[in-house]
């Protein structure tokens, strides 16, 4: 399934992610890692769960505001439900053990020039490239 190459929109989106990461550090002193923010909202709740919930609420609502203002957010999920659930559980185990995901390690940690985040980012990128190659070109699709 083809998707349109969108360099300008993707760059703009990336810059917005970077502005949000900068503001969360400058105002709240926090790393904008979705894994860490989410993990603090899973019982037992962390003591500072309120700002995490507020951040998540904003992240969920903003795309809806964008759509109601006439914006378009393409969405397609070319994955079966069992594969989605299996992949989701692996993502959960992996981000917990690895202490972060694309936003925490790939953006914030790399921007701090953290060797740990560089090692994690290189590892999960290679794993994702390899997984997609095997599923699509060795197994012939999931």
Partner 1 sequence: MRQLLSAFLIGGIFGLGIAIAGMANPAKVLNFFDIAGTWDPSLIFVMGGALVTTFIGYRLTFKRRDNPLQAQSFSLPVNTRIDARLIGGAAIFGTGWGIAGFCPGGAIPALGLGYASVWIFIAAVITGIAGTRLVEGRAR
N-term to C-term CA, the chain: 13
Binding status of residue 69 toward partner 1 by CB under 8 A: no
How many residues touch partner 1 (CB under 8 A)?
114
Burial class (CB in 10 A: 0-12, 13-18, 19+), 104: buried
CA separation for the pair 40, 49 (Å, rounded): 6
Identify residues 92-131 at the interface with partner 1 (CB under 8 A): 92-99, 101-103, 105-112, 114-116, 119-121, 123-131
Establish if 45 lies at the interface with partner 1 (CB under 8 A).
no
Residue 140 interacts with partner 1 (CB under 8 A)?
A: no
**45/108 Cα distance (integer angstroms):** 23
* 86: contact with partner 1 by CB under 8 A: yes
With binding defined as CB under 8 A, does residue 25 bind partner 1? yes
Least Å from the CB of residue 71 to partner 1: 8
Distance CA 24, CA 36 (A): 13
Please state the closest distance from residue 70 (CB atom) to partner 1, in A. Answer: 13
């Amino acid at each position: 399934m083809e998707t349109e190459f969108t360099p300008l929109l993707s760059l703009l989106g990336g810059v917005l992610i970077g502005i949000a990461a900068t503001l969360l550090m400058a105002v709240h002193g926090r790393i904008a890692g979705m894994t860490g923010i989410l993990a603090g909202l899973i019982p037992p709740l962390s003591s500072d769960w309120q700002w995490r919930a507020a951040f998540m609420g904003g992240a969920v609502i903003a795309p809806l505001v964008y759509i109601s203002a006439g914006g378009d957010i393409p969405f397609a999920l070319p994955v079966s439900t069992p594969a989605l659930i299996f992949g989701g559980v692996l993502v959960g185990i992996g981000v917990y053990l690895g202490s972060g995901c694309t936003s925490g390690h790939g953006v914030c940690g790399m921007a701090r020039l953290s060797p740990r985040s560089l090692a994690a980012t290189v590892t999960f990128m290679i794993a994702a490239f390899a997984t997609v190659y095997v599923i699509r070109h060795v197994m012939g699709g999931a």
